[in-house]
Amino acid sequence: MILSSSQVRWRLAQLAAHLVVALIALVVIGGATRVMEAGLACPDWPLCYGVLLPGRQMNVQVFLEWFHRLDAFVVGIALLVQLAAAFLWRSRLPAWLPWVSAGLVALVVLQGGLGALTVLQLLPSGVVTAHLALALTMVAVVSGLSQRLLASPGKASPVWWRLMGGGALVAVIGQCLLGGRMATSWSAQRCLNGSGPACQWLHLHRSSAAPVGLCVLLFVVTALVAGGWPRRQWPFLLSVLVLVVVQFSLGLLTMRLGLSQPLVTVGHQLVAALLVALLSALIFRSPEAESSERPVVVEASSLEPCHG
């Protein structure tokens, strides 16, 4: 069957949308692995206790670490498929797509290397934080990629939209990395236990939360006040605000509970990953995506495959 250019782009956009889900799951499972102190549940790499599927050693901690690796493997295979499709159909696709696909494959290979180092070097804080940084970068890139594949060539979103949205995205990712550094150095736990010098990362993470929230709020309010196409994105803009409020609430609840409820901490990480994905999708969303003349025609909003 010969596919048209619009069909090829639509299918690749669907693949990217599923990859966003898999990458968010990867971030969340990685967070759950840390919270449950399961980072070294599989003492070797890439196998677990020398086998693909540990049987006798299987418990909750081993399962989390094993499943985290499985999800990473699936993501790697999907990115290779995307690269192959982008190369085979390059004459019908934007010239940048094969390069972006190749870059994503390189990132996932680097991510696998950092994952190996976290095990072989016994969870060094810097390596684990870099592991998180790459994961969030991939979430943002793939989420934006799905939107670009759904957009038609033509009028781009306003420059201020991309600049303010990009600033909000960078601020959120930076806040996530501060939280990751705090978590991987066990700063919050030691601070709650009365170790003063260990509180620096916790204080930095908490003090930067308000400026980051204001940065996101400024982007949303400006878009709503500007009117036109930006205002028509109000369901997604309000979703961003809801995620920010939920994130603040979960952060406060985590500290009030003294980090004693793993599900609350994991929920905090889930909302952060969702916020990164949604902000990136909004930044790369195009006004032409709402036009009836666009090459990729879908019934629902083009944000829905990733975030609906």
Res 50: pLDDT: 86
pLDDT of residue 136: 94
pLDDT value, residue 19: 95
Q: 154 is written with which tokens?
A: 């033509």
In which residue ranges of the chain is pLDDT below 50? 289-308
The four Cα atoms 16, 21, 24, 25 give a dihedral, to 10 degrees, of -130
pLDDT of residue 168: 96
Q: For the chain, how many structural domains are there in total?
A: 2
| 143 domain residue, yes or no | yes
Q: With the C-alpha atoms ordered 84, 143, 30, 205, is the resulting torsion angle positive or negative?
A: positive
Tell whether 307 is covered by a domain: no
Cβ–Cβ < 8 Å for 147, 303: yes
* Contacts (Cβ under 8 Å, ≥6 apart) of 34: 128, 183, 184
Identify the domain boundary among 150, 175, 210.
150
* Parent domain of 200: 156-294
Q: Of 150, 169, 186, which marks where a domain is finished? A: 150
| Shared domain check, 78 and 172 | no
What's the chain's average pLDDT?
A: 85
Name the pTM for this structure: 0.86
Q: Does some domain include residue 305?
A: no
Q: Does one domain contain both 102 and 174?
A: no
Burial label for 186, CB within 10 Å (0-12, 13-18, 19+), is middle
Long-range contact set of residues 179-186: C-beta below 8 Å, sequence gap at least 24: 179/205, 179/268, 179/269, 179/272, 180/128, 180/129, 180/132, 180/133, 181/125, 181/129, 183/34, 184/34, 184/123, 184/125, 184/128, 184/129, 185/125
Residue 51's SS3 state is strand
Q: Are residues 251 and 178 part of one domain?
A: yes
Residue 241 · residue 221 · CB < 8 Å:
no
Q: Is residue 1 part of a domain?
A: no
pLDDT for position 33 = 87
User: Max Cα separation, the chain?
Assistant: 67
Distance CA 100, CA 83 (A): 9
Give the residue from 150, 182, 207 where a domain finishes: 150
Burial (0-12, 13-18, 19+ Cβ within 10 Å), 59:
exposed
Q: Find the DSSP H helices in 227-261.
A: 228-232, 234-256
